[in-house]
Structure 1
Amino acid sequence: MSENLLILHGGGPTAVINASLYGSVMEALKHKEIGTVYGAVGGTAGLLAKRFVDFSKVPASQLELLKQTPASAIGTSRTHLQEDDYLKMVSILKKHHIRYVLLNGGNGTMDTCGKLYRAARSEDIRVIGIPKTVDNDIAITDHCPGYGSAARFLAQTTAEIVQDVRSMPIHVCIIEAMGRNAGWITAASALARQKGQKGPDRIYLPEFSFDEEAFLADTQNLFTKHGCAVIVASEGLKKADGSPIVPPILQRGRDTYFGDVGAYLAELVIKKLGIKARSEKPGILGRASVLCQSPVDRDEAVLAGKMACKAALEGRTGIMIGFERLETSPYSIRVIEIPVEEVMMHERPMPKEFISEEGLGVTDRFIEWCRPLIGGDLLDFAWFGD
């Protein structure tokens, strides 16, 4: 009897998560030893509910659309799993003759991947992780599929906002960037400074403690000098004591919801400095925009999905596919296999060598590292002002 393969998504989607799905499905369909290629509809919750899509019945034209489809075409989830859920999963996998399981996601999903691997190894069910996160905070791998597109979106968006603010210099604009506790996306706003174009005046990363008084003094100086300012701030900014700069607004079960950092900082500028200010929060637009999808990111996502499938068929299990950078110019990487237990819930912050000494920007080393991932130059603009 042929053995089946299952692919599932976990956590927040990206602009290229479906490209990894495409890579895995197309590779799996080549192999006669695989009977049915399933997708779990709704992540781990879909697996536990036995909600599957059979990709062998999906028209080729629809599969090709995966490379340009944002979010997750098979759904995803952030289901809080209990220990016995993993035993239930193994039972379901056995019942459906699924021998190969590919989990595509970020830190939480890699934790799930590792736990499922432990629960399933005595049954010879092979479990492989495919990295996915706009936050780029998975350990060991040079970068993650999803990040390059999110970085491109924020860099392009920042460049456009800077152009707008410069053309009518009357206020302070705060751009809030995603990324949780790591500043990778926030830092990418620095790529707006290309070909002599202006970029953000300040970049506030979560790797540095936020000092409210210093922020207000610096913002006042920027406004006095230029009549305007563009500041990019991470959603994960924290005070020196480790608490978020914005108080929680709702507690529901395990989840705590906080107010918007950008709105909070803009309100501070208005109230404390008497300066007109506004906040911009692209939010999930930054992870859903196919218009800003990086071709490098897309191709590497396809590659990661493909190599995960190959690894499972070749007998590997308990690993995550990763990338090792060989060169930055010209850019090249190679695929590596990382024991999943080395990346389970291990957040990777921005390294010190990528952050400017004062903590309000990034170094040239970061720019060089990040630039290839966004897949080409941003749009250039005309400017005839000072």
Structure 2
Amino acid sequence: METPSLGQATIVSGLHHTVDDGLRIPERIESGSDPGILFELAGPREKIFFDPAKTRAGIVTCGGLCPGLNNVIRSLFLELHYGYGIAEVLGFRGGYAGLDPANGAEPATITPEYIEGIHRQGGTILGTSRGPVDIERAVDNLIRRGVNILFTVGGDGTQRGANALYQEARRRNHPLSVVGVPKTIDNDVGFVARTFGYFSAVEEAVRVLDRAHTEARSTPGGIGLVKLMGRHAGFITAGATIASQDVNFALIPEVPFRLDSFLEALEKRMRQKTHAVIAVAEGAGQELLECGEGAKDASGNLMLKDIGLFLKGQIERHFKEVGVPVVMRYFDPSYLVRSCPANCEDALLCDLFARHAVHAAMAGKTGVVIGFLHERFIHVPIELLAVHVKRLDPDSGWWRSVLAATGQPDCSV
């Protein structure tokens, strides 16, 4: 697939081990199958579009927190500064709101001293927010500040905003490279096999599940119920369940379940084993709750009903009706999970995503997100993210592993 570009790259980069622009990675690699979309392979190019000595870059982090944001900021700067000798790097504060000078947030000038040690901290040193920005004012600001490259670190909503910025700059004939680094601990970004922060979130979730198991097995009739993040995809719940091996029921958005079947299975478990651990993704079972039109958050996402508290109430009511005493222990570690620093695996992934983003931008690529397929980094046109949804496939090895680890019966609708 053709990758958007600002024009022909004519400046010799001087980098070693460069990647040819013509190399492609197929969407699918199954033998005999249609390869699907052919993506441009990411990596350093022999020739670049921007003259480093005359180039100013900007970085913005948007949306909810995720382990590894500071790692990405640090690696973006290090590659720009030491790898290419970029003149200046600005950090826009407070998410997309920081691109609008009317909000009064003056960008930070990023230096080696500014990023010292930030990779050991959770959160983002630049701050973040949800919600859109006035695209025309944002582009006015970028042009006025002489920003040639903008790195947008965030999820689907952030990258939709990045696409709007790229389109507006192109309309004005301003050579602005907009390159996205995909961020979501839910691991649900299209054409990205593994998003940064996911394994750190799973690791933290397993710690909570271990505590829930300890609480449940230490009390006769103990039930540990843990609500994990995952609005539309159950990857965190599935991964933590498989890693923990102490979960008895895992509930995810992709597999709707019958409440009566689940409660019957839980009752059977409690009569036999006297304790249980349940992991539920925040987006699971939404069809069981009374949902009207629903409010939306600042990013335009439908605000979910609380499946955790709903299940807690339903479980307590069911066991009271059948005369089986239980002791509920409810855990909602959402902010604990997403605000931790990146673990070693995610730290490595953050560094690679960031460096490939810099290579793409310096080569004049724009309107792209760095993807990750078949252990290769690729350039994904941002527009594709709007039409490709990544979910956990109930027929995949992921879900079969969950069922094997929990031994839970089929409670699906």
SS of the equivalent of 2:87 reads: strand
Q: 1:215 & 1:178 partners in 2: Cα distance?
A: 21
User: Deviation at 1:52?
Assistant: 0.3
Q: Which residue of structure 2 lines up, in the alignment, with residue 211 of structure 1?
A: 258
Does residue 283 of structure 2 align to residue 236 of structure 1? yes
Does residue 73 of structure 2 align to residue 47 of structure 1? no
User: Deviation at 1:346?
Assistant: 4.1
SS of the equivalent of 1:232 reads: strand
User: Deviation at 1:347?
Assistant: 3.4
Larger Rg: 2
Does residue 260 of structure 2 align to residue 260 of structure 1? no
Residues 174 and 266, structure 1, Cα contact 8 Å, conserved in 2:
yes
Choose which of 199, 202, 214 in structure 1 pairs with 2:249.
202
Map Cα deviations across residues 160-188 of structure 1 (whole Å, 9 max, x no partner): 32233223342211100101111011111
Residues 237 and 245, structure 1, Cα contact 8 Å, conserved in 2:
no
- Matched residue type, 1:353: S
Residues 285 and 307, structure 2, Cα contact 8 Å, conserved in 1:
no
Q: Which runs of 5+ in 1 are unaligned?
A: 326-332, 365-386
Does residue 137 of structure 2 align to residue 88 of structure 1? yes
Choose which of 218, 226, 241 in structure 2 pairs with 1:175.
226
Q: 2:403 & 2:67 partners in 1: Cα distance?
A: 25
Choose which of 51, 59, 70 in structure 2 pairs with 1:18.
70
Q: How many residue pairs align between the two structures?
A: 340
Map Cα deviations across residues 327-377 of structure 1 (whole Å, 9 max, x no partner): xxxxxx3322211111137431112314546xx93568xxxxxxxxxxxxx
Residues 212 and 329, structure 2, Cα contact 8 Å, conserved in 1:
no
Identity %: 25
Residues 104 and 132, structure 1, Cα contact 8 Å, conserved in 2:
yes
1:1-386 equivalences in 2 (<5 Å): 2-30=54-82, 34-49=86-101, 51-56=106-111, 59=113, 62-81=114-133, 85-121=134-170, 122-193=173-244, 198-238=245-285, 243=287, 245=289, 251=295, 257-274=303-320, 275-290=326-341, 293-325=342-374, 333-344=375-386, 346-351=388-393, 352-356=395-399, 361-362=402-403
- Matched residue type, 1:18: N
Map Cα deviations across residues 44-97 of structure 1 (whole Å, 9 max, x no partner): 1011126200003x51xx51312111111101111234xxx2222211111000
Q: 1:255 & 1:110 partners in 2: Cα distance?
A: 14
Residues 215 and 222, structure 2, Cα contact 8 Å, conserved in 1:
no
Greater mean deviation of Cα atoms: 23-32 or 100-109: 23-32
Residues 169 and 226, structure 1, Cα contact 8 Å, conserved in 2:
no
Structure-2 change in CA distance of 1:345 and 1:280 (3 Å): farther
User: Deviation at 1:299?
Assistant: 1.2
Q: Which runs of 5+ in 2 are unaligned?
A: 1-52, 321-325, 406-413
- Matched residue type, 1:137: D
Structure-2 change in CA distance of 1:119 and 1:363 (3 Å): farther
Q: 1:264 & 1:256 partners in 2: Cα distance?
A: 18
Residues 153 and 182, structure 2, Cα contact 8 Å, conserved in 1:
yes
SS of the equivalent of 1:222 reads: helix
Residues 236 and 244, structure 1, Cα contact 8 Å, conserved in 2:
no
SS of the equivalent of 1:338 reads: strand
SS of the equivalent of 2:82 reads: coil
Structure-2 change in CA distance of 1:356 and 1:259 (3 Å): closer
Residues 121 and 340, structure 2, Cα contact 8 Å, conserved in 1:
no
Q: 1:308 & 1:192 partners in 2: Cα distance?
A: 31
Greater mean deviation of Cα atoms: 152-161 or 98-107: 152-161
Residues 222 and 229, structure 1, Cα contact 8 Å, conserved in 2:
yes
User: TM-score with structure 2 length normalisation?
Assistant: 0.76
Structure-2 change in CA distance of 1:315 and 1:255 (3 Å): closer
Q: 2:403 & 2:63 partners in 1: Cα distance?
A: 28
Q: 1:51 & 1:344 partners in 2: Cα distance?
A: 31
SS of the equivalent of 1:229 reads: strand
Q: What's the RMSD between the two structures over aligned residues?
A: 2.4
Q: 2:97 & 2:314 partners in 1: Cα distance?
A: 41
